[in-house]
Structure 1
Amino acid sequence: MKKFFVLLLCLSASFGFNMAQTCGKGIKVLQLNLWGGTSKVSDGYQGFLDLLEEVDPDIVFLCEISGGQRFVHRVIQDMKQRGKLYYGEAFDLAVGFLSKIHPEKVQKLCTVPGNEERTMVKFLVTAGGKEVAFYSCHLDHRHYECYMPRGYSGTTWKKIDKPVTDEQAVLAANRLAYRDESVAAFLEEARKDIACGREVIIGGDFNEPSCLDWQDSTRHLWDHNGAVIHWDCSRMLLDAGFRDAYREKHPDPVRFPGFTFPAGNRHALDRLSWAPDADERDRIDFIYYYPACSSLKLQKCVLVGPRETVLRGRIEENGSEDPIWVPACVWPSDHKGNLAIFAFAGCSR
């Protein structure tokens, strides 16, 4: 198998956080929703290329791309002109990946009947001498019921009579989407990887918050209106032994809410807010990982995107302590992304 070794760069404090250099072999993973394939942002496509050049990730989880493999092929060719060699695949989907490491196997799978457009793309690479299974996903956007406690419908995006804060009522409505079925299909496939001793990393826009972010400490914040909700997808992944990369490094959701949507993108050509009279900010984009034999070590995880946020329909300064790398490029999305840096320790098998 081809071995890939990469020395991770020291990132300047001017990016908004202190990113120390990772020792040894490692891999840099970026996750980002591209909002209609960057079409919703003036100069968004060039901004995305500039982002790849500045961040220089080894692996990129992409979702909400346009044109499937045509889009990925265009990015690969344009980055080659900039001296950056990537491989990638999206099949006929709106989800795909880029990788500096040549993938040994690529599949589209974890398809849920009735929700075929949310199929995942899986690819295997060897990094740091370890075989890693990566999954790029974009879960069902329908029945976005974290809006219910905020007094909005997650299906019509219109105001409802009053906020719904009962956990079981919210979860019942939320389960009309296919997100939990997609995660169940992923876990079934990932167990095969784990049984083979592979590390597993999944990233994407889950269109659902984390159960770690809707607990007692946050029940009276961000228009949760007293709701405590154990959201299904995060609970299923955590119960299966997966780790939420951002929460591993920033466990306090009050100090580090980690909001990824909506991002305060001043270059946007379309609306940023779907619930303009509410505080709709949430963390719905994730990187999860399963460290087989404890060989996969998370070094850093930060947000990437504009420092500004969107509060009650207006772009506002971000008041949290979240570490955010603010790239110099035109930001191509209405989401912030996640950047995780992993290192590989020795593992006997």
Structure 2
Amino acid sequence: MRLTRLLTLLTCAGLTLATAVPAAAQQTAPERLKVMSVNLWYGGTKVNDYRAKQVRFLREQAVDVVAMQETYSVAAKELAAELGWHHYQASYSLGLISRHPIIAEYAPVNAAGKTLSGAGIRIRLPGGREAVVWSAHLNYTPYGPYDACHSGMTNEQILRREEESQRPQEIRDILAELREELAESRHTPVILAGDFNSPSHLDWTRATRKSHCGYALDWPTTREVAKAGLTDSYRTAHPDPARDPGNTWSPVYPWNDQAGKAEPQDRIDFIHVKGPLRVLDSRTVVVGTPKPVPNHRDNEWTSDHAAVVSTFRFTA
């Protein structure tokens, strides 16, 4: 593995195996891995009593690892401390927490030459299995659904502005950093999760034009992920985007005041996977019945995105 990108946390490999994997745990490898991706919305600070609500939600979901965005530089550390978990606070936005030991960190990627768009961890599960998990947070502007639904641009104009947003280049840079891990994913699965600020090419199809302002678009950012061999866990579990749109944006923004139009509802948060993991279930999750902005302060749900939760089973 690349020592320039992979920062090993442990100083002694022999001691690591003795302390990180108890003898009893070595007997049985886990069959399942439950992963969450969630944008915390300014760390959750837009909602009253946000940290206690976040901890309660994470305990209820019983996940193994969480890829977070908009962590406000502290959420990964503070949530891990509350849960008794391991954490990697990678940047102002990016953080990951895991109930299983983190044995290595992947430093943030200076993607597209300007932003820290992705970072990751390698975790070791009971029994010795490992998994690589990355959190990504891509540039938010210009936003393609606004170009379509608010401005009525042509397909060509929208796709040109997608390249101008640098999201496709950001994801290409992240995938380049993961090249070695993806090549080894037959043995160690790779999970790329996060807020892409882009719809999926799997969703804006001819069959779903009515719900997407009349457009069918081959969104390039998710197309790059598919070209690298990763699969979309939600769309694997729910292959019909017309029946199961899986929208994650936005449970608290039904209306766009600036445009004076309805806010386009879309699926822009993802959990992609490559390697020996079979998708058992994937869903979008919101707790309670969130009130829309500006009446959101007492919501039980502390984000402006829905979370994505995918459950996998290890294969041979």
TM-score tier by shorter-chain length is 0.7 to 0.9
Q: Distance in 1 between matches of 2:30 and 2:82?
A: 30
**Any conservation in 2 of the 1:298–1:341 contact (CA below 8 Å)?**
yes
1:136-168 alpha-carbon deviations (Å, 9 max, x no partner)? 11111121122111124xxxxxxxxxx11x221
Give the drift of 1:264: 3.7
- Corresponding residue number in structure 1 for 2:80: 76
1:22-80 alpha-carbon deviations (Å, 9 max, x no partner)? x96211111100000001112222211111111121100110111x1x3322222222x
1:284-339 alpha-carbon deviations (Å, 9 max, x no partner)? 00000012xxx21111111110476899x999xxxxxxxxxxxxx81110110111
**Any conservation in 2 of the 1:26–1:341 contact (CA below 8 Å)?**
yes
Identity over aligned pairs, percent: 27
Give the drift of 1:265: 8.1
Alignment partner of 2:51 out of 41, 45, 51 = 45
- TM-score of the pair, normalised by structure 2: 0.83
**Any conservation in 2 of the 1:136–1:203 contact (CA below 8 Å)?**
yes
- Corresponding residue number in structure 2 for 1:181: 169
Q: Distance in 1 between matches of 2:68 and 2:77?
A: 13
Counterpart of 1:289, as a letter, is V
Cα separation, partners in 2 of 1:275 and 1:244, compared to 1, 3 Å: farther
- Corresponding residue number in structure 2 for 1:299: 280
1:121 aligned onto 2:102: no
**Any conservation in 2 of the 1:265–1:333 contact (CA below 8 Å)?**
no
- Corresponding residue number in structure 2 for 1:334: 304
Give the drift of 1:111: 1.5
Secondary structure in structure 2 of the residue aligned to 1:111: strand
Secondary structure in structure 2 of the residue aligned to 1:176: helix
Secondary structure in structure 1 of the residue aligned to 2:266: coil
How many residues get paired? 288
Q: Distance in 2 between matches of 1:64 and 1:288?
A: 19
Runs of at least 5 residues in structure 1 that lack an aligned partner in the other structure? 7-22, 80-84, 153-162, 316-328
Counterpart of 1:253, as a letter, is P
**Any conservation in 1 of the 2:33–2:312 contact (CA below 8 Å)?**
yes
Secondary structure in structure 1 of the residue aligned to 2:313: strand
Secondary structure in structure 2 of the residue aligned to 1:135: strand
Alignment partner of 2:270 out of 286, 299, 305 = 286
Cα separation, partners in 2 of 1:243 and 1:38, compared to 1, 3 Å: same
Q: Distance in 2 between matches of 1:174 and 1:265?
A: 22
Secondary structure in structure 2 of the residue aligned to 1:219: helix
**Any conservation in 2 of the 1:47–1:331 contact (CA below 8 Å)?**
yes
1:268-296 alpha-carbon deviations (Å, 9 max, x no partner)? xxx987655135100000000012xxx21
- Corresponding residue number in structure 2 for 1:255: 243
Q: Distance in 2 between matches of 1:307 and 1:288?
A: 27
Counterpart of 1:235, as a letter, is R
Alignment partner of 1:34 out of 32, 35, 40 = 40
1:64 aligned onto 2:70: yes
- Corresponding residue number in structure 2 for 1:151: 150
**Any conservation in 2 of the 1:272–1:310 contact (CA below 8 Å)?**
no
Runs of at least 5 residues in structure 2 that lack an aligned partner in the other structure? 1-16
| Cα-Cα RMSD | 2.8
Cα separation, partners in 2 of 1:34 and 1:3, compared to 1, 3 Å: same
Judging by fraction of residues, say which structure has more helix: 2
- Corresponding residue number in structure 1 for 2:227: 239
Counterpart of 2:69, as a letter, is C
Cα separation, partners in 2 of 1:333 and 1:345, compared to 1, 3 Å: same
- TM-score of the pair, normalised by structure 1: 0.75
Q: Distance in 2 between matches of 1:345 and 1:305?
A: 30
**Any conservation in 1 of the 2:290–2:301 contact (CA below 8 Å)?**
no
Cα separation, partners in 2 of 1:174 and 1:265, compared to 1, 3 Å: closer
**Any conservation in 2 of the 1:264–1:306 contact (CA below 8 Å)?**
no
Q: Distance in 2 between matches of 1:274 and 1:203?
A: 30
Secondary structure in structure 2 of the residue aligned to 1:247: helix
**Any conservation in 2 of the 1:33–1:205 contact (CA below 8 Å)?**
yes
